[in-house]
Amino acid sequence: MEKPVAALSMVRNDTLFADKWIAYYGAQLGYENLYLFVDGLEQTLPKEAKKINCFQIPHMPYPRAQGDKKRAKKISDFAQSLYPKYHAVLAMDIDEFLVVDPKTKLSLKAYLKQNFTTSSRSALGLDVGQHPQLEQAIELQKPFLSQRSFAQVSDRYTKPVVSLKPLQWGSGFHRIKGKNFTLDPNLYLFHFGLVDLKHIQQKTEESELLTSGWKGHFDRRLKLYHALEHQPVQEADPFFEKARNYFSKKRKWYAWNKPAPLKDPSVIKIPKRFQTLV
C-alpha cells in the first residue's frame, strides 16, 4: 500500500493564510493528511478546521527567537512521530506554499512519492510581494499568483521543508540540524507574507509582536517592497538555474547547512505557468 504525504504548520493571529493553506494542501495531499496547530485557546479556528487534524494548544509567550526555536522543536517532534506511516512529511510556516514546477506534469503528491535518496529536499524560495505601484490589494477568493507578478529569489525561503525521514528542523525551518541540504530542481516555495501591503502594515502594528521582538524582523522584511520597485527584473527560468547553482555551492562558514545570500539583483517576473496554482 502506498504511503501518503503529510503537511504540518502552526498558526496564530492569522487573518489571511490558514484557510488557503488548508484548501491548497488539502487538494494536493488529502485533508486527512494535514496537521495544524492553532497557538492559543482564545484563537478563532480556520473555517475548514474540521476537515483536517487541527489541534488548539495553549499559547506560551516567548521572545521572537526563542519562540521560533520552540515552534520548530514541537513541529519536528510531531513530524518524527508520523513516520513510518508517511512517505514524506512537509513542514512550513502558514504563509508558505510548496509547488512543483508545472513543466514536470506531475502533481505535488506524485512528485514527492519518488524514491529520493536524500533525507530532505529544499525548494527554491520565491518571496512574493505586492508591487507598490503596479498591483492592487489581494482578493482572497482568487489565486494569489494570478494577482502578483513579481518575486525575489531568496536564500531565506530556500528551505528544506520536505523531510523524507525523521529529522530535526532549526528555527523557521531554514535548516536541518546536523545535516546538509539538497536543492530540488523542480520545487519552489512561494512565501506570501508580504503579498498584501495593508495586511503587513496591520501586522507591524500588533503590540504582541512588537513587545516580543519582531520590529527588526519587519524592518528587514519590508525591504522587499523597495526591491520590487527599484531592482531590474530578471528573466525567471535562466535566473532560477543560476540561483540553484549558487545556493547549492555557496554558504557562510558559520551557516554551512544553509544557502548564502545572492549578491546580484534577484527580482524576477513569475512565469505564467504558475498563475493558477496557488
Please report the sign of the dihedral spanned by the C-alpha atoms of residue 107, residue 113, residue 114, residue 119: positive
Confidence (pLDDT) at 61: 83
Confidence (pLDDT) at 126: 98
Confidence (pLDDT) at 220: 73
Confidence (pLDDT) at 112: 97
How far, CA to CA in Å, does 75 sit from each of 8, 119, 173, 238?
7, 17, 10, 35
Confidence (pLDDT) at 76: 96
Q: Which residues of the chain have pLDDT under 70?
A: 203-219
Confidence (pLDDT) at 215: 56
Scanning the structure block, which residue is given the C-alpha cell 543560476? 242
Residue 53 to residue 31: CA distance in whole angstroms: 8
Residue 12 to residue 18: CA distance in whole angstroms: 9
Scanning the structure block, which residue is given the C-alpha cell 494569489? 144
Confidence (pLDDT) at 204: 64
Query: How many other C-beta atoms are found inside a 10 Å radius of the C-beta of residue 208?
Result: 11
Cell representation of residue 196: 498584501
Residue 66 to residue 71: CA distance in whole angstroms: 9
Q: What is the pTM of this model?
A: 0.94
Scanning the structure block, which residue is given the C-alpha cell 525567471? 236
Instruction: Judge whether 174 and 69 are in contact, CB under 8 Å.
Output: no
